[in-house]
Structure 1
């Protein structure tokens, strides 16, 4: 068993990973974004849960509104970007299957871009 209290400070942080999955917190400041038109995880699905704030995810050109309680699954190979369109921090909890990123947010292993 593993446990951790998340702080949801600005930026991207891997909480921890186990054999086949990874948890990370991603916090985007108002007006900011993560990813971009070429951002994708070739070998991993990303489950994004919005803890607080609001924004939009652009997945394969489709806009998906984000608000607290939204759960979005970005399947492997789908190009995506997450933008904060609100006035407060956009706080998200993300799960990658299999683990896709190292502690610095760089691609690793099967999820490598």
Structure 2
């Protein structure tokens, strides 16, 4: 589980990451990364990186969607330290993510983050 300070919860934050951020697609996921500035904290220290997940009904039924989201959340938790402070990350699961092995999802997430971060390996 992600710590509460690292979770995206507000619709505006999801929209900001998906509209203004950069995107890297892989066969089972699309990762959106918005820069290291949080518009909600003015004049304060930089907030920690925050992550959110989008798993649509196209992925499967509720049980399948929750399993995919738990797997992605666990993978993202281990990679938060490589993200810049204040960054917003949205990981969107694509249809077929439910059948992908855990290590394949990990490789795809690593490849997407590496592309978005400019070659810095998480």
TM-score (norm 2): 0.25
**Higher Rg:** 2
Structure with greater strand percent: 1
Structure with greater helix percent: 2
